[in-house]
Amino acid sequence: MVKRYRLDEIAKIEEGKIIPRKKYFTNIGVPLITAENLKKLMLDGNVEQLPKVKCAPVPAQTIILTKANLKDTNKYIYQSETEICIASDMIAITPNETIILSDYLLHFLRWYKIDKEWQHLYHIPIDIPMIDIQHKMVQILNTIQLLLKNKEPLLTAVERLPQHFDNVSVQIENHSKSLHHGFHQAQYLYNHMLYKIFKGEHK
């Protein structure tokens, strides 16, 4: 069974209130995410390196987006694993996990093309299957995403192998090409699955 909701019916959507100023920063507060440090955070994932502030935090499993650049294909979307604070250039979306899993909403927002200003988020329609169906879909999508996240370290490690072994350059080059092709196929599979799931072809 699939039911259609508006995003603001199944998630709390809030703007950040904090304008980063030195007077707000502390050594023992909650990590603060700004649009400027979101890209770096998505690359290394180390939220503890962010400046800390005293504030009313958003909970773990909240999804964070920037107000700007939502129309971009490579829009930055981050899911917090801990409590965090968000700056005034950010939006926090906290799902009601009795209706929609945070991971399921995360994949949906990566797929959904936002063609208006960020306020349009409130009115986005989303078809939501039962929680057990969401679990199954999320397990597959998360596995592919984890593989893609490890793409660069794995490729780098393979390409450095000739430094440690003699007479393997040709084999390594062939293996590297196969890995590149495999990751390309994994990205295609991920995009294709998002399309099938959120276009409703799983019903």
Q: Over the stretch 105-151, which tens digit does the pLDDT of each residue have?
A: 999 998 988 777 788 889 999 999 999 999 999 999 999 888 887 77
* pLDDT given for residue 163 in this prediction: 61
Please give the Cα distance from 31 to 46 (Å, whole number). Answer: 10
* CB 107 within 8 Å of CB 196: no
* pLDDT given for residue 202 in this prediction: 45
Please give the Cα distance from 163 to 134 (Å, whole number). Answer: 45
Torsion of CA 164, 168, 174, 180, to 10 degrees: 0
* pLDDT given for residue 203 in this prediction: 43
Tell whether pTM > 0.75.
Answer: yes
* CB 109 within 8 Å of CB 174: no
Residue 140 CB partners (closer than 8 Å, separation 6+):
193
* pLDDT given for residue 41 in this prediction: 80
Please give the Cα distance from 15 to 65 (Å, whole number). Answer: 10
Task: Report residues of the chain scoring pLDDT below 70.
Answer: 22-24, 69, 71-74, 153, 157-176, 200-203
Instruction: State how far the alpha carbon of 153 is from the alpha carbons of 6, 44, 94, 147, in Å.
Output: 39, 12, 31, 11
Please give the Cα distance from 79 to 9 (Å, whole number). Answer: 20
Which secondary-structure segment (H or E) carries 50?
A: none
